[in-house]
Amino acid sequence: MKINFLLKTSLRGLKVNKLRSFLTILGIIIGIWAVVTVMSLGIGVQNSIVNQIVSLGSNNIFIEPGPWSEKMERRSIIESMAEEMQIKTLTFEDAKAIEKLPEIEAVAPFVIGADRIVYKDKSKKITFMGTTPDAIKIAETEIILGDNITKEDVKSLAKKIVLGYKVKKDLFGDEDPIGKIVRIKKNNFRVVGVLEEQGMQAFMNLDEQVYLPITTAQKNLLGINHVRWIVAKAKSEDLIDQAVEEIRLLLRERHGIKNPEGDLSKDDFKVMSQKETAKILSNITGIFTLFLTSIAAVALIVGGIGIMNIMLVSVKERTKEIGLRKAVGATKKDILIQFLLEAVFLTLIGGIIGVLLGISSSYFGGIIFKKLLLIKWKFFVSIKAIILGFSIAVLVGLIFGIYPAKKAADLSPIEALRYE
């Protein structure tokens, strides 16, 4: 029997039972919709993270507490940060020593905390950063009002503060904040400067942060002696690898770590260039995206089972039709191909609708992420997701259509014609 006749017969069979056909493909639509959306948004998140990390400065080197581990690339960002918060191996003195290396242009240690900042009858939830004057240079940002904190402020534990752009707007409006007193944790701070508007970077709103001398933050606000992380800026991109190695050797010596073989897992710190940091964060989000995609793919399996069940019902309902077609010359192969084609048609239609919905969801999801997270977002549709979606759709149609098709093909013409 000609293939074009089988195609027409299969399409006619689907048109006769439109509602049943729609219900059959619904699971496929939802599954492929979810796969395309999750993969596209996941890759969008990865690209956004990499771009934001790179925007911090290509010459930057990050020094964090805790040993290097391959598990870093498999765990969540929150889990990694929570563990590192408990490690106290880095100190302000480490940062001072790193600053003296010939490959290094600037160094800024950081401690971090969160609380409310109060000015008169106004208050705002903020993140406070204890650091040094070089933090502004490393971040490649500018003070638009007043001045930066100074090295003398750090030495004397001065209670001075530089406000992020939005903190200034929310607390002072159009009022000049320079010289005014704000309060954090019952400590009064004199405003000495305001930073330019910076927006979101690495999923942190820099305009809702304040900067103060690291020693003041350590002693007066946090009650600690260690630092949370250190950022060093190499003098040039060509010196980054050399600077990373020199920092490792210096910190091993300072921390009394004997590690002649250079095994990073034996260190009590990790040193990463900008590219390494972006790669790790990208891997973490990639694994998370893969996990979500796997969950979404389950819907495709459920949809496949739905196709098989409804196709079995269809075989039972069309038993007489199958018997009649066999009686007038249709072969077992013809019946098998017809029902397989019906299953594949259903999944392909579901695949097309699912892909179109997935592309729409990715577009509008990106707009929502951009507005909610205040980040730069480039619309992206994963071609891999589309190919994967269509491939799985056809595969599901074939796999779950084989049993009903075979059952139809195996029917005896005489028994089928007698079926009531």
The CA R_g of the chain, rounded to the nearest whole Å, is 32
Number of other residues whose CB lies within 10 A of the CB of residue 370 = 17
Q: What is the pLDDT of residue 275?
A: 64
Q: What is the pLDDT of residue 143?
A: 94
How do the residues of the chain divide into helix, strand and coil, expressed in percent and rounded to 5?
A: 60, 20, 20
Backbone phi, then psi, for 179, in 5-degree steps?
Answer: 90, -10
Q: How large is the average pLDDT for residues 133-156?
A: 92
For 146-207, the DSSP string reads E----HHHHHHT--EEEE-HHHHHHHHTTS--TT-EEEETTEEEEEEEEEPP--EETTEEGG
CA-nearest of 132, 109, 75, 106 to 285 is: 75
- Which pLDDT band holds residue 333 (cuts at 50, 70, 90)? confident
pLDDT (tens digit per residue) in 5-40: 545 554 555 555 666 667 777 777 877 787 777 777
Q: How far is CA 61 from the centre of its chain?
A: 22
Number of other residues whose CB lies within 10 A of the CB of residue 63 = 23
Please state, in angstroms and rounded to a whole number, the distance separating the CA atoms of residues 292 and 123: 39
Q: What is the pLDDT of residue 75?
A: 46
- Which pLDDT band holds residue 90 (cuts at 50, 70, 90)? very high
- Which pLDDT band holds residue 260 (cuts at 50, 70, 90)? confident
Q: What is the pLDDT of residue 70?
A: 54
Backbone phi, then psi, for 209, in 5-degree steps?
Answer: -110, 160
Containing 118, the helix (H) or strand (E) segment is strand 104-119
User: Residue 361 corresponds to which tokens in the numbers above?
Assistant: 């969801």
- Residue 304 vs residue 262, higher pLDDT: 262
pLDDT (tens digit per residue) in 66-83: 887 655 544 444 455 555
- Residue 280 vs residue 118, higher pLDDT: 118
Q: How large is the average pLDDT for residues 88-99?
A: 93
383-409 helix and 18-55 helix, angle to the nearest 10 degrees:
160
